[in-house]
Amino acid sequence: MDFGQSRLDRYIRQIYGRQIPQSIIEKALRNKDILLNGAKTKSSARVSSSDEVFVHPAIQRLFARIALQGKDVPSPDYSRYAEQFKGMIIYEDADLLIINKPAGLAVQLGSKMKLALDVMAKAYNPQARLVHRIDKETSGITVFAKNVETARYMLHLFQSKQVRKKYYAIVSGRLDMLEGKISKPLTRNKSEVVVDFQNGKNAITEFRVLKNLKMARSLVEARPLTGRTHQIRVHMASIGYPIVGDEKYGNRDGKKNDHLLLHAYEVSFKTPQGKTLTKRAPLPKYFV
């Protein structure tokens, strides 16, 4: 599923600049100048696409001044990956970059990772800001903004569910129904996401069967109406049709697959100029 969770302080730096000191973020949180879903929170709080992050305009201006005046934090040289990133681009204009991410590449650099999509994007365009996440194992569409204003605009669209997304998945088994809607609340339980009707957050996925395949599998189009972590993966497994290659949530057909067969196929939204933009990412060869 799109938009894996990250710490709030890391999220702030991703949007406003790596130079933002931790002390300033902490002070803004204490003063309620930064809110998560309308409430006071800690810098370690986890943020996903379904959450709303409020930053007071005065703090936004302070962050902008720091970003302009400060020096970049020393980091490895990723410039050699600029051409590789360029080859992933399926759409680019003055404000946006839309990428067809390969499976196996994380979207954000972590402490145990040597390479991720976000640093490759910075090598291609230093102003690139990640506004849409998908799982490392998932292939397909990922969105970057090329300036702060567009980043804020796109984050608002994702958080307010004004972005239409379609995924293609190959699932184990042949579904009895041609289409359906899965409405099951989800919550994180250690390293996994689980259905939890008492404490989970609302999660809705619509799906329809596109084609029955060999080996008792089905090609499914899934439309997440909410943006929970691993949502499509958990929802399809919860009705007995896990996604092929999903070792975490029940790859049940017993056949080895080198990839999770989940692909972020299409994204559609209104640009800052009011134009409806719809883009599709071709399926990887192993998918078909």
Q: What is the mean pLDDT of each run of 10 residues along the chain (288 residues)?
A: 67 86 89 87 84 84 78 65 96 96 87 81 91 91 93 90 96 90 91 90 95 92 93 95 91 71 97 94 89
CATH of residue 67 = 3.10.290
Q: Report yes or no on whether pTM surpasses 0.95.
A: no
118 is catalytic: no
Domain boundary pick from 48, 74, 100: 74
Same domain, 50 and 27: yes
Same domain, 170 and 146: no
CATH of residue 199 = 3.30.2350.10
Q: Classify residue 274: in a domain, yes or no.
A: no
Same domain, 251 and 174: yes
Same domain, 38 and 100: no
Structure-token pair, residue 236: 């399809």
Place of tokens 């579904």: 175
Same domain, 57 and 89: no
Q: Classify residue 149: in a domain, yes or no.
A: yes
Structural domains of the chain, count: 3
> Which one is catalytic: 135, 196, 246, 253?
135
Distances (CA, A) of 231 to 65, 247, 249: 38, 15, 11
Same domain, 156 and 204: no
Same domain, 42 and 60: yes
Alpha-carbon gap, residue 242 to 172, rounded angstroms:
6
Query: Which residues form the domain of 241?
Result: 164-257
pLDDT in tens, 120-139: 998 999 889 889 889 899 99
